[in-house]
Amino acid sequence: MQQSDVITPKIQWYPGHIAKYERKLSELLKLVDVVVEVLDARLPVASVNHRLEVTIRNKPTLIILNKSDLADPAQNRRWQKALAGENRRVMLYDAKGGQAKAQLIQHVLALGEAAMQKLMAKGRKRRPVRVLVAGMPNVGKSTLINSIVGQKKTKTGHRAGVTRDTQWVRIHPEVELMDSPGVIPPQLDSDEAGALLATVSSIGDAAFDEEEVARFLIETIDRLYPGQLARYFKLTEGEAPTLENMALARHYKLSGDQPDLLRTAQALLTEFRHARPGRITLEHAQHTPKEPESGEAESRTRQAPEPTEPPAEI
């Protein structure tokens, strides 16, 4: 299936107060040395808030590819290389596991060292590197913050020039985290970006039609991982992976023996968000030599239990 064949649903998303949040973020950025930008590893482009990118352009940045345990391992490696740059580091993270805290601290200290040297050159004492966590809604910022702060968090009090509701959390002897992320609302760059964000629940369910997004997801996965959904839903050989065929394979029916498309769409979206059909990345980095075309070998389907409601996204 060619990319042009994918039908992109229209997402009704109307963010408000963008200017207000941008002004607030600009003020907060003056107080920090390093920005930690959280992206969804399954959507490393669509989950970028481009308005945020403009604002943090001159700040040393650590990009967190969060939920990397749900994404294609081969694509994770390629995106790490593709997104890295001068004064910009990239690391994979599973915020729920919280096992990469030491690596995150190491990156932050390295990125903040120039600011510390500049400070000491002015005759001032070295202080902890100050960090701001930012990103699109529902990419896992709060979960990440909780995982690196832990239960023993120490508020270090208000700083001069800091807004009254902004405090710092000492997460390491040499690192302080701002507890007010200053997140700005997203402004969707395109219908495709909106549809992609809907597949991972980064947009509220009320903003989109679940059947339309499920069809978009089917077409996108089938283009990038041919045959994977057919195997997962145990379709017969030659049977196309359509919402209708998936409903029949699951015996999801309405009265009159009609396929229950809404139930099937909801099940597909829920199961995809939990990586039950396999670890899938919906936006692929350019292929690099000596790497497999995809992580399909590592993301073969596994039988899932009856779909359940997904946990609340952070």
Average pLDDT for 25-33: 86
How far is residue 134's CA from residue 279's CA, in Å, rounded to a whole number?
A: 25
Q: Which residue has the tokens 């960090």?
A: 131
| Residue 211 or 147, more confident | 211
> Over 90: is that where the pLDDT of 154 sits?
no
pLDDT value of position 166: 61
How far is residue 64's CA from residue 141's CA, in Å, rounded to a whole number?
A: 10
Residue extents of the structural domains in the chain: 18-178, 191-298
pLDDT value of position 4: 46
pLDDT band at 290; cut points 50, 70, 90: very low
Write the CA distances from 300 to 164, 199, 262, 277, integer angstroms: 51, 20, 26, 7
CATH 3.50.50.60 for domain 191-298, yes or no, is no
| Residue 217 or 94, more confident | 217
Q: Which two tokens stand for residue 296?
A: 């399909």
Average pLDDT for 149-178: 64
Nearest to 39 by CA among 2, 88, 91: 91
Nearest to 39 by CA among 127, 107, 137, 162: 137
By CB neighbour count within 10 A (0-12 exposed, 13-18 middle, 19+ buried), where does 284 fall?
A: middle
The predicted model scores a pTM of 0.81
pLDDT value of position 311: 33
| Residue 12 or 210, more confident | 210
Q: What is the mean pLDDT of the chain?
A: 81
pLDDT by residue (tens digit) across 113-153? Answer: 999 999 999 999 999 999 998 887 778 887 888 888 875 45
Q: Answer for the pair 213, 9: CB distance below 8 angstroms, yes or no.
A: yes
Partners of 91 in the β-ladder: 64
Say if strands 175-178 and 168-172 run parallel, antiparallel, or are unpaired. Answer: antiparallel
* Correct CATH for 18-178 of 3.30.300.30, 3.40.140.80, 3.40.710.10, 3.40.50.300: 3.40.50.300
Start-to-end Cα distance in the chain: 33
Neighbour-count burial for 55-70, b at 16+ CB within 10 Å, e otherwise = bbeebbbbbbbbbbbb
Nearest to 52 by CA among 212, 219, 224, 186: 186
Q: Which residue has the tokens 């650590």?
A: 62
How far is residue 310's CA from residue 75's CA, in Å, rounded to a whole number?
A: 24
Is the CA virtual torsion 283, 288, 291, 293 positive or negative? positive
pLDDT value of position 292: 42
Mark out the alpha helices in the chain (DSSP H runs): 18-29, 50-56, 73-83, 101-121, 141-149, 191-199, 210-224, 228-232, 243-250, 261-273
> Over 60: is that where the pLDDT of 87 sits?
yes
Nearest to 64 by CA among 98, 31, 25: 98
Q: Answer for the pair 213, 204: CB distance below 8 angstroms, yes or no.
A: no
Neighbour-count burial for 72-89, b at 16+ CB within 10 Å, e otherwise = bbbbbebbbeebeeeeeb
